[in-house]
Amino acid sequence: MAATQHTSVQTRVKRAAYYLLLWLIALIFFLPVLWILLSSLKSTDQMLSSVPTVFFEPTFHNIVDTLNRPEFLPALINSVILSVVSVVLAVIVSFTAAYAISRFKPKGSDFLMFLLLSMRMVPAAAVIIPLFLMFVELHWKGSYVGLTLFYTMYSIPFSLWILKGFLDGVSQRFDETALICGANYLQIMFGIILPQVRPALIAAFIFNVIFVWNEFLVNYIVGGSSTQNVPGLLATGMYSGGSVDWTFMAATTSLYMMPVIVMIFFFQKYLLVGMTFGTVRGEV
Amino acid sequence: MSKIELESITKSYGPVVAANAISTVFEESSLTCLLGPSGCGKTTLLRIIAGLETPDAGRVLFDGEDVTNLSVGRRDIGMVFQYPVVYRGLTVYENLELPLRQRGGGNMSASQRKEWIDRLLSILNLTARANQVVDGLDNESRQKVAVGRAVVRRPKVVIFDEPVTNVAVDAKIEIQRGIKQLSREIGQTILYVTHDQTEAMTLADKIILLQSGNIVESAKPVDVYNNPDSAFGGYFLGSPGMNFIAAELERADRGQAPGMRVKCSVLPEPLWLPADDASGDLPRPGAALIGIRPEEIQIVEDGTPGAVRGRVKAAALVGGGRWFLDCVTAEGDEFKMLSAAGADPGGDTEKSFLFRESVVRLYSEEGNRIARALVREDADVPA
């Protein structure tokens, strides 16, 4: 009896130590985010004081200022339009492609899947000059169409991988049952199979939205003033009067992070699906 | 509600022959069980009938009409798979209603439709869950929903592909009972694939036993069990299966009546096979097999007339006080038997065994049945 009590105390202490360590690591990673969030609520003087101010009177002055800037709202709208439209397109294309590959297994589809994913391994900086020249020739420079298509293309491989993995796990008996009932392939795909892979669709959507939401390089180089997103605005609007406008930077960043953080909070269970390429299945 | 005919259906997957020129008839409103070991081609045959696979050669006829090239959706069938297919996000009731909305429900009024679905739900014991979304259901209830959905349109043929393999015992019996009741009420033609022989015995009007793409047995369950056409059928059905013991055939006419003498280590007196009881001419003399079911063998008191000596090698309790015994005759022929309820006969003990002569069947060395029964050599020859 005494021995078991002793063990349980020891286990509890051990566990507490683990948790403490984990919390510490998490806090270290969270610190920059916290710094940005707090800074957005500080005055310029408080923010720039050499001894960091821990206790201060929060002010929404910076946030209101940022929201009142004429270029902020259009940039935010651009961010929303570009990320949502391109990722929705990408998910639709990926779902139909993944269905075809999973069910009909056309020759060479394995190689195709590999090829598509390897595209994601090319650093954007390596393709930015050819992309720029191509977009100029196509008159896509600075257009929504050009940027949306680029982001769609960039979001497809990852979505395809997640969805293919998930669709392989959906029994073909679903398709066959529906076929027997007289459904056509469009009805089967969107009416029967799509509800089965909803977690994968959400995972593909979230992961790619996060990517497009924070994309800077392509937007900056091949986009134009009318298609500028918030990261682009941050880069160009940070300097005022020969120095960095720290309050603007902090406030814009805080505002910009919020929608994604809220989205992740509500859909966090789907992130695992995405991170494992759909290999962890089950009821999500 | 349709008669299904298969004409020389052939299908191979590479070197594997899943159906070897299979021809058979599934009578209208009958329940046929397709039975056989894994990979014998039973599922392939069903998928060809459903239209999910195309045969390499041969024809499928529904009520005399050739449907071989008809698409799956136009064949008017219902199918239940081993995997319970339910439409997520819909309630149990909606799952059953969906096929009626899609097509075939046109000639039913809304109230008739509701009445019919309610009836199905009650047969399948799902009434209490009618308004529950299927996502939250367990495997068993999902399979019941799948069964209901397959029959709701009253299709010509309903195909079940091992529907209760992944289902717990209680629900298994419930689903089987539901299927039986539905088949009686709707009079559908039902094809039922299973590898569980007890299930086949319980449900079927007719059993078709397949082996490597060929039909080896096709008869009523009781006939397949008592008088299998092949040694494979006898061995496959029953738990344990029929015993096949080496025998010797020699020509032995009785007066004017031509016949064969059958000698075997488990028969103290040889039995006699009259010519007119054999299928066709007299079989070749030489090696043959006799078939006897484990429950047709008894342990008797030593000295009982007609008994042979043997040894129990191992015994295992099978429940109900009965024992499954692994035995060997004094001459080294092995056989299995089920003892009557009683005390442990013990392993490695000498016993006397009585083989019921009246049920001894005769098979050729290749496993084809020669005779359903043999007679004593001194018995009266039937006129």
Q: What is the domain-level CATH number for residue A76? A: 1.10.3720.10
B87:A195 CB<8 A: yes
Does B203 fall in a domain? yes
Q: Which of B80, B81, B94, B138 to mutate to test the interface with A (most CBs of A within 10 A)?
A: B81
Does A246 fall in a domain? yes
Does A282 fall in a domain? no
**Closest CA–CA distance from residue A86 to any residue of chain B (Å):** 28
Q: In this predicted structure, which of A270-274, B55-59, B368-372 has the lowest mean pLDDT?
A: A270-274
A177:B73 CB<8 A: no
Judging contacts by C-beta atoms under 8 Å, the chain A residues touching residue B82 are 173
pLDDT of residue B306: 85
Mean pLDDT across A190-214? 90
**Structural domain boundaries, residue B319:** 243-376
Judgement on whether residues A53 and A103 belong to the same structural domain of the protein: no
Max mean pLDDT among A89-98, A185-194, B1-10, B33-42 falls in A89-98
Mean pLDDT across B330-352? 82
The answer to whether B160 and B204 are in contact (CB under 8 A) is no
Other C-beta atoms closer than 10 Å to the C-beta of A241 total: 6
Q: Among B218, B236, B254, give the residue marking a domain's end.
A: B236
Other C-beta atoms closer than 10 Å to the C-beta of A23 total: 11
Q: At what angle do helices A198-213 and A246-275 cross, to 10 degrees?
A: 150
Nearest CA in chain A to B99: A181
Mean pLDDT across B262-283? 77
Judgement on whether residues A85 and A26 belong to the same structural domain of the protein: no
Q: Indicate the pLDDT class of residue B382, thresholds 50, 70 and 90.
A: low
User: A50 or B98, which is more confident?
Assistant: B98
pLDDT at B262 over 70: yes
Q: What percent of chain B has pLDDT over 70?
A: 95
pLDDT at B113 over 70: yes
Tell how far CA B140 is from the center of its chain: 24
Tokens of A65: 């200022």
Does B381 fall in a domain? no
Mean pLDDT across B316-343? 84
pLDDT of residue A277: 62
Judgement on whether residues A14 and A91 belong to the same structural domain of the protein: no
Judgement on whether residues B313 and B173 belong to the same structural domain of the protein: no
- Say which residues have a Cβ less than 8 Å from residue A29's Cβ, sequence separation at least 6: none
Average model confidence (pLDDT) across chain B: 87
Mean pLDDT across B258-278? 81
A179:B73 CB<8 A: yes
- Say which residues have a Cβ less than 8 Å from residue B145's Cβ, sequence separation at least 6: B84, B86, B92, B95, B96, B124, B126, B134, B137
Judgement on whether residues B230 and B248 belong to the same structural domain of the protein: no
- Strands (E) in B195-333, as ranges, are 206-211, 214-219, 243-251, 259-264, 271-274, 286-292, 297-300, 308-319, 322-329
The answer to whether B147 and B166 are in contact (CB under 8 A) is no
Q: Indicate the pLDDT class of residue A283, thresholds 50, 70 and 90.
A: very low
Nearest CA in chain A to B77: A180
Judgement on whether residues A75 and A56 belong to the same structural domain of the protein: no
Does B288 fall in a domain? yes
Judgement on whether residues B261 and B196 belong to the same structural domain of the protein: no
Mean pLDDT across B23-39? 90
pLDDT of residue A181: 82
**Structural domain boundaries, residue A32:** 2-61
Judging contacts by C-beta atoms under 8 Å, the chain A residues touching residue B78 are 180
- A99-130: pLDDT as tens digits: 999 999 999 998 998 898 888 888 888 889 99
pLDDT at A282 over 50: no
Judgement on whether residues B263 and B137 belong to the same structural domain of the protein: no
pLDDT at B383 over 80: no
B50:A195 CB<8 A: no
Picking from B88, B37, B123, the residue whose alpha carbon sits closest to that of residue A178 is B88
pLDDT of residue A55: 76
- Could you give the number of structural domains in chain B? 2
Judgement on whether residues B187 and B79 belong to the same structural domain of the protein: yes
Q: Indicate the pLDDT class of residue B317, thresholds 50, 70 and 90.
A: confident
Judgement on whether residues A111 and A206 belong to the same structural domain of the protein: yes
pLDDT of residue B156: 87
- Smallest Cβ distance to A195: which of B73, B89, B153? B89
Predicted interface score ipTM higher than 0.85 = no
